[in-house]
Each structure stands twice: as structure tokens, then as C-alpha cells.
Amino acid sequence: GIPWTAILNADGDILATSNMPDTGENIGFPSSEKGREHFANMLRSGANRMTEDEIVGLALGEQE
């Protein structure tokens, strides 16, 4: 899928990528539920200032 994305820390180290951990497949622009869940987990890995509601709203399109 396109795009390929990565979440980096302040030092430039990769915290998460858009490749699924089980298959290595790129989620691209996540449209499946599994892809959106992975995107939410990507955000959680590096989003120090985002609330869980913000992550869910952005990644899953809903509010908890």
C-alpha cells in the first residue's frame, strides 16, 4: 500500500512502521479494521501528548 509511514522518536530512531508485524505487509492508507488498529498502535508508540480519545478518533474515526 501507499504511503509507507514510520513513527520516529526525537533521536530519529524508528518506533513503528506501517508494516504489519505479523505479515510485514504495508497498511498504506489504512482502510481495513486491522489496518486502522495497527495505525492506532503506531500512534500510541510515539504520541506522548495525544490522549487515547484523540488516537482513537484519528485512527478509527470514533470516540471512546
pLDDT averages per 10-residue partition of the chain, 64 residues: 92 97 94 94 93 92 61
Domain assignment present for 27: yes
Question: What is the reported pLDDT for 64?
Answer: 46
Distance of CA 19 to the CA centre of its chain: 10
How far is it, in rounded angstroms, from Cα 34 to Cα 36? 6
Place of cell 482513537: 56
Total count of domains within the chain: 1
Domain assignment present for 14: yes
Domain assignment present for 48: yes
CB 42 within 8 A of CB 35: no
Domain assignment present for 49: yes
Residue 25's domain comprises: 6-60
Domain assignment present for 10: yes
Q: Maximum CA pair distance of the chain?
A: 32
Question: What is the reported pLDDT for 13?
Answer: 97
pTM, full prediction: 0.85
Domain assignment present for 56: yes
Question: What is the reported pLDDT for 62?
Answer: 67
Closest CA to 62 of 52, 22, 30: 52
Domain assignment present for 1: no
